[in-house]
Amino acid sequence: MTQDPADNWKHWPQGWYAVARADALRPGQIHSGHLAGQPWVLYRGHSGTLHATDAFCPHMGAHLHNAQVCGEALVCGLHACHLLPQTAAPTLPEHIKAGCRLAVRAWPSAEHFGLIWLHPPAAAIPPLPFSGSDGGHHWLAAGPQAVAADWRAMICNGFDLEHMQAVHQRQVEGEPLFERLPENGLRMTYRTRVLPRGGLSSWLMQRLSGGVIHLVHTCVGSSIMVQSRVGRFRTSAVFALLPQDAPGTRPEQRHSVALAAIGIPHGARWPTLQLRLARALYLAFLRKDFRVVEGMRLQLNHTADVGVQAVTAYQHTLADMEHHP
């Protein structure tokens, strides 16, 4: 039996993952989760600086989601150990006393497009996704949204040209252009024509665009950036996915968390109105996709879609997430 190309996707490809909205984490607040089975906690110090570290106190293993933020440190709720993340590998004493002060391992973290991104500690840290595309824009974040779907299905969906007509009432015009990027990404450039009977959002897109939408989709790991030109309006959108299940989970039983951010160029007229309108249109577009990929058992043996084939070939080149205990 021929192996399905979907089986060669990495469940946790090496890279950065969006884990929260930047505006949802205030000074003194703590957020927790895991990447590739590695638990973490994320918090803002009282100065507003972002910090991330391993989720368990090195003293006796208490989970730090119950800690308190004190200045730029975490104070463990079990024995009041003060923990301060640092990038240099810390050396822990053989015996740790209650109330002591310890340097702990920091996780790489960053704010980007109004989202918070994490990367597990590793020997080499790649650039942030789409790092050359965040300047010169106003950004408005959305999510998190729990989706009952495999993240791989949603990345495929983002490059699935044949679904555009069936789901979004848009017809692809001409041949798409594919380009591998130096920062280990894949870019697809194409254009679509808005078809009638697509509902309110399609009617509005038709009015704004004159019928034709120019698009660039860029995939980096489990995230996609969509840059669109709709008439005289230009927008950028980031769609980031966070797997929630172990790699052995059946595809139709997998879940993901989605975060998004919408950007419009500085200098745009009525930026708040444009941002909210762009976000509403983009989220309406995504909701249609969420409905059709929920519970999907991804299989790629029989698809002839050039976009799906291109993003699958790209995903096969990615490395698995490193694990540095």
State the CATH number of the domain containing residue 105: 2.102.10.10
323 found inside a domain:
no
Query: Same structural domain for residues 76 and 197?
Result: no
Domain boundary among the residues 118, 146, 164 is at 118
113 found inside a domain:
yes
Helix (H) or strand (E) holding 275: helix 271-293
Query: Same structural domain for residues 112 and 144?
Result: no
322 found inside a domain:
no
Query: Same structural domain for residues 108 and 162?
Result: no
- Structurally, the chain folds into a number of domains equal to 2
| Average confidence score pLDDT of the chain | 87
Query: Same structural domain for residues 79 and 216?
Result: no
CA distance 108 to 221: 17
266 found inside a domain:
yes
**With 70 as the cut, is the pLDDT of residue 193 above it?**
yes
Task: Find tokens 């039983």 and name the residue.
Answer: 253
Longest CA span, the chain? 71
Which has the minimum average pLDDT: 100-114, 190-204, 241-255? 190-204
143 found inside a domain:
yes
Structure tokens at 248: 């052995």
130 found inside a domain:
no
Domain limits for position 50: 17-118
170 found inside a domain:
yes
**With 70 as the cut, is the pLDDT of residue 201 above it?**
no
Which has the minimum average pLDDT: 17-21, 45-49, 261-265, 281-285? 281-285
* Residue 206: how many other CB atoms lie within 10 Å: 19
Query: Same structural domain for residues 306 and 194?
Result: yes
Taking the model in full, what pTM does it have? Answer: 0.89
Query: Same structural domain for residues 177 and 101?
Result: no
Query: Same structural domain for residues 216 and 162?
Result: yes
Query: Same structural domain for residues 83 and 148?
Result: no
1 found inside a domain:
no
Provide the pLDDT for residue 94.
64
Q: Give tens-digit pLDDT for 130-145.
A: 987 766 788 889 889 9
**With 70 as the cut, is the pLDDT of residue 200 above it?**
no
Query: Same structural domain for residues 92 and 143?
Result: no
Query: Same structural domain for residues 158 and 226?
Result: yes
Query: Same structural domain for residues 154 and 303?
Result: yes
Domain boundary among the residues 118, 152, 173 is at 118
**With 60 as the cut, is the pLDDT of residue 242 above it?**
yes
Structure tokens at 149: 């779907």
The phi-psi region of residue 52 (left if phi > 0; otherwise alpha if psi is between -120 and 50; otherwise beta) is beta
Peptide bond connecting 144 to the previous residue in cis, omega within 30 degrees of 0:
yes
Query: Same structural domain for residues 152 and 226?
Result: yes
Domain boundary among the residues 87, 118, 149 is at 118
